[in-house]
């Protein structure tokens, strides 16, 4: 599962922030990171399914704007253009691209939110 590979790689870069699929537990303290798949394209060949291109959104939550920016930068730099097997038993990543970066503030939770839209190409 490519999700397990992404989670493992992100955890190794997160400076102790917890990484969750789809949503953090209610009341989770920052910093934390959530990943969600936003789409998958398959690139079939004549004889097999071929490579996959899967898009994910990483959401980084932090109480401090400067800490959020720093964590987002660390994760972006650690993920961009990475290849290989990130965790035993997961697909081999051929490339990992950062497609977009964004940020916002959530006044309800008083959290600064950093967003990375990524594309993973893998077999």
Per residue, the 3-state secondary structure of the chain, as one string, reads CHHHHHHHHHHHHCCCCEEEECCCCCCCCCCEEEEEEEEEEEECCCCCCCEEEEEEEEEEEECCHHHHHHHHHHHHHHHCCCCECCCCCCCCEEEEEEEEEEEEEECCCCEEEEEEEEEEEEC
Q: Convert the pLDDT of each residue in 28-53 to its tens digit.
A: 999 999 999 999 887 766 666 778 99
The CATH number that applies at residue 93 is: 3.30.2000.10
State the pLDDT at residue 105. Answer: 98
| Cβ-contact 98, 117 below 8 angstroms | yes
What is the value of pTM for the model shown?
Answer: 0.89
| Interatomic CA distance for residues 99 and 38, integer angstroms | 13
Across residues 62-81, what is the average pLDDT?
A: 97
Task: Count the domains in the chain.
Answer: 1
State the pLDDT at residue 49. Answer: 72
State the pLDDT at residue 44. Answer: 67
Confidence of residue 54 (pLDDT cuts 50, 70, 90): very high
Look at the alpha carbons of 95, 100, 106, 111 in this order and tell me if their dihedral is positive or negative: positive
Q: How many CB atoms neighbour CB 22 within 10 A? A: 9
Range of the domain at 85: 2-122
């Amino acid at each position: 599962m490519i999700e397990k590979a992404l989670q493992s790689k992100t955890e190794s870069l997160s400076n102790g922030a917890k990484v969750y699929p789809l949503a953090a537990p209610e009341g989770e303290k920052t910093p934390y990171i959530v990943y969600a798949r936003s789409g998958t394209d398959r690139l079939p060949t004549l004889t097999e399914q071929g490579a996959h291109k899967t898009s994910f959104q990483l959401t980084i939550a932090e109480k401090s704007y400067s800490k959020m920016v720093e964590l987002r930068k660390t994760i972006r730099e650690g993920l961009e253009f990475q290849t290989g097997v990130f965790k035993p038993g997961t697909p081999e990543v051929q490339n990992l691209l950062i497609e977009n970066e964004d940020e916002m503030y959530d006044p309800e939770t008083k959290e600064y939110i950093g967003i990375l839209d990524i594309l993973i190409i893998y077999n």
